[in-house]
Amino acid sequence: MLPSGSAAGTGPSIDATSLKRMVQERALAEERLWHVLMHYRAKGSGYESLVDDPDYFFAPRGKIDPAAELAASVEAMLAPPDQGDEHFICRYPARSEWLVESLDVDPQILSRPDCVKRDEALAKVDPQSAVLVFPAAHNNGPASMFGHTLLRIGSSYQSELLSHAINYAAFSTDTNGLIYAFKGLFGLYDGYFTVLPYYEKLNEYSSLEHRDVWEYRLNLEPEEVRRLVLHSWEMQGIASDYFFFDENCSFLLLYLLEAARPELNLTQPYYDRFSFWVIPSDTIVSVKEAGLVEEVKYRPSLATRIEHKASLLDESARRKSHAIAVAGASPRELAENYSLQEQRQILDLSAEYLRYRFSRKEIEEDRYKKRYLPVLAARSALGTEDEMVEVPRPVPPELGHAPGRWALGAGARDSRYFLEFNWRAAYHDLLDPDEGFTQGAQINFISLKARYFPERNNLRLENLHLVDIFSLAPRDLFFSPISWKVRGGLERKPFTDGEDLLYVGINTGGGMAWNLGPDALLYLMADADLNLSDRFRDKVSLGAGPTLGCLLQLTSDWKAHLHGGALFYGFEEHEHYRAVLEQNYRLSREGGVTLKAGWERAFDQSKAEIMLSLNRYF
């Protein structure tokens, strides 16, 4: 047990020298749990902690020297108790508890500071069980492009909503996808652990962000969960550089699970493998493979429930439900035109949509009550349904394709044959299978394409994209999101001499998308395009124009994307027209085959190409 309480002792009756000798004799600096608690990883012939905040360390070289940090921690543990909540025992309870147990020290002879904040927090959280929570990705949120993971700590309370959540996230106020991606790629955000009521996060994800939530109950014992919470407490207010690809929300949570059960080996495999990224869905796979998951639960978001309820009604009934919720139409007229079952469904949908609008502050409280209460009264008078209609459970995120992808292909461009190699670090393309991912969301980070032309014995870089995001969020009677896209990197297009030349390109746009039935998505966008090249007279060319496209799910394994557009440039005046038909057929979860045909015209030079490629996910 951790020493605590108001009856503070007068000081330790054991000296630091003898404890440090015991630390060396028992080689505690090499112990697995010590490395986990300090987030050490092997680097060269030594170690380095992933924690970047100097406040986490007591030794000047504590970030890279486990032995020095352990010796300094022993000194801090023996400090006088008058430091209160800032004493080592209070501020770093997982470390101090491990030291006490490893050194076989009687806690009663140590300093006994009054750890008010720590004890209150531990009593409030009341750790009994743990659940790994995955809020799915959301099209219109840059901060949620990959999904997210956090931990819910179950307590002795019966309601799960009264439990607490442990969250690690980047501190950011940026809403621009390109800026967010750039800063996240290069670790320009600080990441922090926080503990907060679970219902707040669930409401944020479900009501405000349209994000479905998956919950994976873990088979940790109460004492293991307690140690996990103690370690999360000592990480409070401690900053680390947040990187999208590795030191992110999902990877850092694995250290908490290893602190709970040190024999787990969840983080090292990510250092050992070839790929250098950690995707939230990857960590779910790791936790399942470690045998930690005992139950999976799906919580559809409020928006998903609304969309499902609306899909059960015809157009007339949907419009009636919308009119009741938005225009305040009376529910009393329903009996004249709709069956009993349809009336129930219409009012259920109206009630859900009113709740949604109120949660997003789209309707004032007084107006909300005036509309919501009559809807509830009318719905109550109709009785309960014979069978509850559940939202169909989608494919879990961990069962989707792997985030990396490479492809080998062959084709012809302007009568010149070529071989192509395509590589993507992460994460999902519009033509990739949607199972486990958000439909209509393309999120590609660090992708490149290279081509070899045998006729000229020429190997060239075709393009290199740092980021390529395409978010198609369909609009309907109940929701009116904006679709958007952003892409930045090196591109090629025909110039005045007819050659395809590289240039720096940044393209962004916004617009609208609509579902044309369950298997077709139509979109229209207005683009802005910035080109930088020495071949331009003014080194720069800025253009704008429309893009029109349609994404089709032809069969469960076959997808097609037909799109085209035109850009009209100032400065270096020219136009760029393009039309493309892409198709992808899934052969297995590991890969598929893609056929692409395209045409473009720039600087009065036209080029057409066709290519067939074999794709493999990794």
Could you give the maximum distance between any two Cα atoms of the chain, in Å?
89
pLDDT for residue 143: 56
Mean pLDDT check: name the lowest of 1-10, 219-228, 297-306, 421-430. 1-10
In one-letter notation, the amino acid at residue 10 is T
Q: Do 520 and 590 share a domain, yes or no?
A: yes
Domain CATH for 531: 2.40.160.40
Range(s) of the domain holding residue 293: 126-299
pLDDT at 10: 41
Q: 221 and 275: one domain?
A: yes
35 lies in some domain? yes
Q: Which residues pair with 196 in a beta bridge?
A: 165
562 confidence band (pLDDT: 50, 70, 90): very high
Domain match, 148 and 234 both: yes
Q: Which of 71, 87, 115 is the last residue of a domain?
A: 115
DSSP one-letter string for 111-129: -----HHHHHHHHHH---E
pLDDT (0 to 100) of residue 264: 96
Angle between helix 340-359 and helix 302-311 axes, rounded to 10 deg: 150
Note whether 183 and 318 are same-domain residues: no
pLDDT of residue 98: 96
- Give the residue among 258, 273, 265 at the shortest CA–CA distance from 289: 265
pLDDT in tens, 389-417: 789 999 999 999 999 999 999 999 999 99
Per the DSSP assignment, residues forming a β-bridge with 87 are none
- Which range (47-56, 203-212, 300-309, 458-467) has the least confidence? 203-212
Q: Can you spell out the DSSP letters for 173-210?
A: ----HHHHHHHHHTT-EEEEEEEEEHHHHHHIIIIIS-
385 lies in some domain: no
User: Does 131 lie in the same domain as 110?
Assistant: no
* Residues 421 and 529 placed together within one structural domain of the fold: yes
DSSP string computed for 235-287:
TBT--EEE-SSSSSHHHHHHHHHHHHSTT---SHHHHHSS-----HHHHHHHH
Q: Whole-angstrom Cα distance, residue 397 to residue 281?
A: 6
Query: What's the pLDDT at 436?
Result: 93
DSSP SS3 for 280: helix
618: tokens are: 């990794």
Q: Are residues 323 and 199 in the same domain?
A: no
* Same domain assignment for residues 433 and 335: no
**Average pLDDT over all residues of the chain:** 91
What would the two tokens of residue 117 be?
């904040």
Q: Which residues contact residue 173 at a Cβ distance below 8 angstroms, ignoring those fewer than 6 apart?
A: none
Point out the domain boundary residue: 115, 145, 168.
Answer: 115
pLDDT for 141 equals 61
List the CATH number of the domain containing 206: 3.90.1720
Please name which of 404, 414, 463 lies closest in space to residue 591, comparing C-alpha atoms.
404
Number of domains in the chain: 4
The answer to whether residue 223 scores a pLDDT higher than 90 is yes
pLDDT, residue 257, reads 98
Give the separation between CA 279 and CA 427, rounded to whole angstroms. Answer: 8
Supply the pLDDT for residue 7.
39
On whether both 585 and 493 belong to a single domain, the answer is yes
The predicted pLDDT at position 13 comes to 54
User: Is 543:568 a contact under the CB 8 Å cutoff?
Assistant: yes
pLDDT value at 6 more than 70: no
Q: E strands along 434-554, which residues?
A: 441-453, 458-471, 474-475, 483-494, 500-515, 520-532, 540-553
Which of the four pLDDT bands, split at 50, 70 and 90, describes residue 277?
confident
Residue 330 lies in a domain: yes
Tokens of residue 133, six digits:
């929570």
In DSSP terms, 613 is beta-bridged to 409, 594
Phi/psi of residue 399, nearest 5 degrees? -100, 5
Which pLDDT belongs to residue 5?
45
Mean pLDDT, residues 295-323 taken together:
95
Rounded CA-CA distance 250/134 in Å is 9
Note the Cα 19 to chain centre separation in Å: 44
Looking at beta carbons, which pairs linking 528-531 to residues 24 or more positions away fall under 8 Å? 529/505, 529/567, 529/569, 529/576, 530/505, 530/506, 531/491, 531/503, 531/504, 531/505, 531/569, 531/572
Residue 161 lies inside a defined structural domain of this protein: yes
CB 489 within 8 A of CB 448: no
The candidate with the shortest Cα–Cα distance to 130, out of 228, 18, 206, 32, is: 228
Model confidence at 332: pLDDT above 90:
no
Q: Model confidence at 355, in pLDDT bands (50, 70, 90)?
A: very high
Do residues 130 and 111 both lie within one domain? no
236-250, 375-389, 427-441: which is most confident: 427-441
Are 487 and 465 contacting, i.e. CB atoms less than 8 angstroms apart?
Answer: yes
Query: Is residue 4 assigned to a domain?
Result: no
* Residue 523: strand pairing partners: 513, 549
Single-letter code of the amino acid located at 277:
W
- For residues 235-254, give the mean pLDDT: 88
Phi, psi angle pair for 370, to nearest 5°: -65, -30
Q: Which residue has the higher pLDDT, 594 or 136?
A: 594
496's tokens: 């005045």
End-to-end CA distance of the chain: 45
Q: Which of 141-150, 237-246, 357-366, 520-529 has the lowest mean pLDDT?
A: 141-150
Greater confidence (394 vs 143) lies with 394
Angstrom distance (rounded) from CA 252 to CA 271: 13
For residues 574 and 517, membership in a common domain is answered with: yes
Q: Are 598 and 572 in contact (CB under 8 A)?
A: no
Instruction: Name the nearest CA neighbour of 214 among 132, 279, 278.
Output: 132
Residue 288: inside a domain: yes
The full length of the chain comes to 618
Does residue 1 sit within a domain? no
Counting residues of the chain whose pLDDT is more than 70, the rounded percentage is 94
Question: CA-CA distance, 172 to 188, in Å (whole number)?
Answer: 10
Tell me which of 87, 115, 143 is where a domain ends.
115
Cβ contacts of 57 within 8 Å, gap of 6 or more? 49, 51, 63, 69, 72
Do 562 and 552 touch, CB atoms closer than 8 A? yes
Average pLDDT over residues 373-400: 90
Question: Within a domain: residue 390?
Answer: no
- What are the phi and psi torsion angles at 606 (to 5°)? -105, 140
454, 327: one domain = no
For the ranges 269-273, 436-440, 545-549, the lowest mean pLDDT is seen at 269-273
Tens of pLDDT along 42-86? 998 999 999 999 999 999 999 999 999 999 999 999 999 999 999
pLDDT average, residue stretch 124-135: 95
